[in-house]
Amino acid sequence: MKIIIHGGFFSESSQTAETKIAKQQSLTNIIDRSWDYLKEHTAAETAVFAVSLLEDDELFNAGTGSQIQSDGKIRMSASLMNGETQKFSGVINIESVKNPIKVAELLKDEDDRVLGGQGAKIYASAHGIEDYSTEIPQRRSEYEEKLKNGGLGTVGCVVLDKDGKLAAATSTGGKGFELVGRISDSATVAGNYANRHCAVSCTGVGEDIVSNATATKIVTRVSDGLSVQEAFRRTFSELAEIDGFAGAIGIDSYGNIHFQESHPTMVFAAYDGEKHMMFK
């Protein structure tokens, strides 16, 4: 069993040493809880569990900590991909829910598995997801002062379970102050992808990740026989050609964990049962 989680880039908001430590401590707690959960659950279930915990922490730009868009509203996106079934499900620009990733999970057995905007909210309400305000005072003050803080925040999790099954889940609160209707990479296969060979979750500038098809390229290259390390290297070299800003975490079917970032500021942690690793 292996698990790795990420909390986006430190540059996603105004960072202090105190905030950095708080994020690291939160990731440590979340990965410990998720590892215990993984012992009795599947990769897909655990990915959702871990991302929901990240969404609940206002330190990260997802769920409760989500950024406000240019019209003052919070809209979130999230997706789940089960490597065994190779089915992708997600929500785009959903409003007023606590955990977008749980709505994405509900959609996994539907014929229509990716919903956006009002339709996603109607579906969530019809399936018992209660209204929830994800706005926190910090985000409102940022909006009122028209402060832009980078749009580099996303959370994600990649898991290999005891049966050798892989899954990836990713969630975001968006850029912050983006054009209404803007779609991030988090609910696309560019930002979140898995099959039987590899699973990957990305963070960074969504437009760069989509242009590079980052997650899909890495997973496809591993499927075609490259090592996960080489698949990351080649994909990030292509990202550099467009001066792209991104980070990614991944696990292959052999349990090899790998990460790479175009800028050394991503915050993430991994656990393989023997060694607890806080990389950033």
- Nearest C-alpha neighbor of 254 from the set 208, 204, 197, 184: 197
How far apart are the C-alpha atoms of 243 and 218, rounded to whole Å? 18
**For the chain, what is the radius of gyration of the CA atoms?**
17
Greater pLDDT, 16 or 197: 197
Residue 108's contacts (CB-CB under 8 Å, 6 or more residues apart) are 44, 80, 82, 85, 87, 89
Q: pLDDT, tens digit, for every residue of 81-121? A: 999 999 999 999 999 999 999 999 999 999 999 999 999 99
Query: What element of type H or E holds 156?
Result: strand 155-160
Q: Confidence class of residue 232 from pLDDT cuts 50, 70 and 90?
A: very high
Max Cα–Cα distance, the chain, nearest Å: 51
User: Dihedral sign, CA of 6, 252, 99, 104?
Assistant: positive
Each residue of 48-78: pLDDT tens digit? 999 999 999 988 999 998 888 888 889 999 9
CA dihedral (52, 266, 61, 181) in degrees, to 10, reads: -110
Which residues are known catalytic residues?
Answer: 154
The predicted-structure confidence for 159-208, as pLDDT tens digits, reads as follows 999 999 999 999 999 988 889 999 999 999 999 999 999 999 999 999 99
Residue among 93, 58, 252 nearest 160 (CA): 252
CB atoms within 10 A of CB 235: 25
pLDDT of residue 150: 45
SS3 breakdown of the chain: % helix, strand, coil, rounded to 5? 35, 25, 40
Contact 79, 169 (CB under 8 A): yes
pTM for this structure? 0.92
Give the count of alpha carbons within 13 A of 213, CB side only. 7
